[in-house]
Amino acid sequence: MAKTRLTQRRIAALRPRETTIDIRDAGLKGFGVRVYPTGLRRYFIHAQAEGTRIWKVVGDADDMNVDDARTQARVMLAELKGRVPTAPQAPLFEAVAEEVFRRYARNWKPRTLEVNRGYYGKQILPWFRGRPIVGITSQDIRAWFASLHRIPVAADRSLPVLSVIMTQAEIYGYRPEGSNPCHGIRRYRRKGRERFLSEEEVRRLGEVLARHEGDHPMCVAIIRLLLLTGCRKREIATLRWKEYREGHLHLADSKTGPRMVWLSSPARRILEEQPRISTWVFPSTRTRMSVGRSMVDAFWMRLRSEAGLQDVRLHDLRHSFASIAIMTGENVLTVGRLLGHNDPGTTLKYTHITSDAAVHAAQKLGPVLGGSAA
């Protein structure tokens, strides 16, 4: 571990490396600065008390100058003298996190668990490894979250994983009740990727689908059902005949668990026209499984180009389903149920009104809010 007299100029000159580095202050024993690969710099104290090594954060170098940090560190080090530390009984963050993944895994689908493990290993663990979980504060979470500003998507998806770990730590008795330090952390504002088809674009898409019905009937049927049901691609591509009964879909394993999908007459007609030659509604021609989703993706790439919809993803058909439902008078709760959302707030991001609809609403509300007769 490097040791040098820490000055403000020295702190400013520190640059991140591939691994975390600690630089101790030559002027105050036990005081130093830690530089993370992300570029964050934090002052710390590191000392022995009753034979136990104790490491504590003093503050962030971006928020505190080195003289103030050294003064604060001197006070913290003095407080440790003669005090029996509680750190040995406090489990480290990574130990509790592993317990959470082991005990809480049944609440996540296998793919979700895999993704969450990925965010934990890449974005969360390197920052909090070696820290007693009881000592992690809201300030620590804010500093961690700020360090991920260059990768806002990963930051936003990592935060709920960390929050689950902290909440379960309370349940397991490792943190005080109601102390989750992730509460109140606002996610990054990102330019929305939601794309909604206009009536003209839906018409164009329908014309292109009709042209390919003869050579790619299965893919055409899948895409039409996506637009008519608001289902996710996997839910339709892996649909089994036993899940279609009484005129509705009874999905046994959707993203939010088992749910029923109400079908319109056109959607039912598409299903009734499919030959029942397999347990799958859309069977693969090469395996005994359902049609490959990659094949549907490849067909969509060709289709959207032909329809002049190069920026439209398959998932945007789900957005459009919700948008059209809202514009035709359905409320958010109803649309959320159609989409299989457990939280109405999730449905709000799928809603959209066209500029024509907005103008019409403004004209309709103007006289009423202005106090004159319509």
- Per residue in 81-123, pLDDT (tens digit) is 655 344 445 789 999 999 999 999 888 888 889 999 999 999 9
Structure tokens at 346: 């999730």
What does the alpha-carbon distance between residue 4 and residue 307 come to, in Å, rounded to a whole number? 65
Note the pLDDT of residue 147. 92
In this structure, how many other beta carbons lie within 10 angstroms of the beta carbon of residue 153?
11
Percent pLDDT > 70 in the chain is 78
Note the pLDDT of residue 135. 87
Residue 112 makes CB contacts below 8 A (sequence gap 6+) with none
Note the pLDDT of residue 194. 62
Q: Residue 51 to residues 76, 78, 81, 89, 203: CA-CA distances in angstroms?
A: 17, 16, 12, 14, 75
What does the alpha-carbon distance between residue 157 and residue 148 come to, in Å, rounded to a whole number? 11
What does the alpha-carbon distance between residue 308 and residue 197 come to, in Å, rounded to a whole number? 12
Average confidence score pLDDT of the chain: 79
Note the pLDDT of residue 321. 58
pLDDT beneath 70: ranges in the chain: 1-2, 50-51, 81-89, 190-196, 253-257, 319-374
Residue 226 makes CB contacts below 8 A (sequence gap 6+) with 233, 236, 314, 317, 318
Beta strands 257-262 and 244-245: pairing type?
Answer: unpaired
- Residues 245-281 have pLDDT tens digits of 988 888 876 666 677 887 778 888 889 999 999 999 9
- Residues 316-340 have pLDDT tens digits of 777 665 555 444 444 444 444 444 4
**Coil, helix or strand at residue 371:** coil
